[in-house]
């Protein structure tokens, strides 16, 4: 029988935090530890943290990622300052394999009979789309992929990812592929509402949108927002706080299911009135103005889980543990409402171990199709009996 445990520490000392996690882990059950997903604040030096975890848990595979301004588990919440948490998968039937950066695409072997396979990806900000273009075909259609992009507290580049063989980096990726002897369900959703405003991308390069319908993209977007970007059009610069509740979206449909993947505009380029974003957009794609609310962001994790349980026919009574992927932009927007958001999530999944971190990008399946990268999204992984 598989099992899930969570551990949590707010100690500012790496050694003390790791010791606290290990003590909680030993007290949580006797099943063998197959592997773990670690979340850390940026206050913990990743090289020191990775070494301490490896020494305390020799032979236990894990991957880890940094979070923006806090993290949480069913054991507690930290909204600022030092924090370290982990979700541990346990049981003799669980297979947990880890790799990173240049070896992400490899032969993972046949999935054992009676198991479901999923993958957890953590990358640093930059080019998550290219990673997914390689990974999704290699993992195959039977592997559910979910993940979050490493974050820091202030966009200063202190983010990082790390893994159990001593690997840590501020530019790269880590991946865990898990064969789970039970039910697995995952999804990534926005729940934002679509508006009538839409346009076709007529000029773009990478994550910069130069034109919508042949006109400067920031001017078109500003018109949709009723002039909210007037100053940015004159001076250029960051517009993150102005756009988190009114992002752009692209429509996805698969097997009759449809949903929107969100794009968070980051800045306006004053000279060209182009928009930079946290997601790549291709020429010819249609983008829509989306609208969300603070209340909607607070309730979103619970609604995503409830819908996922219905779609996958996995009742809460069979859920053993959960992982919540929550956007840092959403976390900063709801601010003091974070505890309400987490309470709603816990109410939806039941009283089971869970962890969450706040990311600078989210990866997962939004409409039953292949996994992709999005912004301002909410993802959930449910591990069932």
- Considering 263, 287, 311, which residue would you say is the last residue of a domain? 287
> Looking at residue 44, what is its pLDDT?
97
Residue where one domain finishes, among candidates 242, 265, 287: 287
pLDDT in tens, 52-103: 999 999 999 999 999 999 999 999 999 889 999 999 999 999 999 999 998 9
Q: pTM for the complete prediction?
A: 0.95
Indicate whether 74 and 160 sit together in one domain.
yes
Domain span at residue 278? Answer: 193-287
Question: DSSP characters for 220-282?
Answer: HHHHHTTSTTHHHHHH-EE-HHHHTTS-EEEEEEETTEEEEEEE-EEEEETTTTEEEESS---
Residues 143 and 254 occupy one common structural domain: no
Average pLDDT, integer, range 337-361: 96
The CB density around residue 279, as the number of other CB atoms within 10 Å, is: 24
The pLDDT value given to residue 256: 67
Pick the closest to residue 50 from 100, 103, 113 (CA basis). Answer: 100
- Is 231 found in the same domain as 151? no
Mean of the per-residue pLDDT values of the chain:
96
Question: 199 and 220: one domain?
Answer: yes
Alpha helices in the chain (DSSP H): 14-27, 46-56, 128-139, 217-224, 230-235, 240-243, 294-312, 328-334, 338-349
Per-residue pLDDT, 1: 86
Task: Point out the domain boundary residue: 266, 287, 308.
Answer: 287
* Residue 385: band (very low, low, confident or very high) from pLDDT cuts 50, 70, 90: very high
């Amino acid at each position: 029988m598989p099992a899930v445990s969570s551990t949590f520490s707010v100690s500012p000392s790496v050694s003390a935090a790791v010791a606290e996690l290990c003590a909680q882990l030993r007290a949580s059950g006797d099943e063998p530890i197959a592997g773990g997903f670690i979340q850390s604040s940026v206050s913990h030096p990743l090289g020191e943290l990775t070494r301490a975890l490896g020494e305390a848990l020799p032979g236990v595979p894990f991957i880890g990622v940094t979070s923006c301004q806090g993290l949480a588990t069913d054991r507690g919440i930290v909204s600022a300052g030092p924090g370290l948490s982990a979700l541990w998968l346990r049981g003799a039937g669980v297979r947990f394999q880890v790799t990173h950066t240049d070896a992400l695409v490899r032969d993972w072997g046949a999935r054992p009979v009676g198991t479901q396979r999923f993958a957890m990806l953590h990358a640093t900000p930059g080019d998550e789309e290219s990673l997914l273009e390689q990974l999704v075909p290699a993992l195959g259609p039977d592997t559910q992929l979910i993940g979050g992009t490493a974050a820091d507290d202030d966009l200063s580049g202190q983010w990082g990812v790390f893994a159990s063989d001593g690997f840590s980096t501020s530019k790269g990726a880590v991946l865990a592929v898990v064969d789970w002897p039970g039910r697995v369900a995952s999804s990534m959703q926005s729940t934002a509402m679509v508006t009538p405003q839409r346009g076709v991308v007529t000029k773009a390069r990478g994550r910069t949108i130069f034109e919508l319908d042949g006109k400067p993209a920031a001017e078109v977007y500003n018109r949709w927002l009723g002039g909210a970007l007037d100053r940015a059009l004159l001076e250029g610069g960051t517009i993150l706080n102005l756009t988190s509740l009114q992002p752009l979206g692209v429509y996805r449909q698969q097997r009759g299911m449809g949903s929107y993947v969100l794009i968070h505009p980051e800045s306006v380029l004053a000279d060209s009135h182009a928009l930079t974003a946290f997601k790549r957009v291709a020429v010819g794609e249609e983008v829509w103005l989306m609208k969300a609310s603070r209340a909607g962001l607070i309730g979103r994790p619970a609604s995503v889980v409830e819908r996922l349980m219905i779609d996958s026919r996995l009742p809460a009574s069979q859920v053993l543990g959960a992982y919540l992927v929550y956007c840092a932009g959403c976390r900063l927007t709801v601010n003091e409402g974070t505890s309400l958001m987490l309470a709603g999530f816990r109410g939806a999944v039941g009283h089971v171990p869970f962890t969450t971190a706040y990311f600078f990008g989210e990866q997962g399946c939004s409409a039953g199709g292949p996994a992709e990268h999005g912004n301002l999204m909410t993802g959930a992984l449910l591990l069932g009996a």
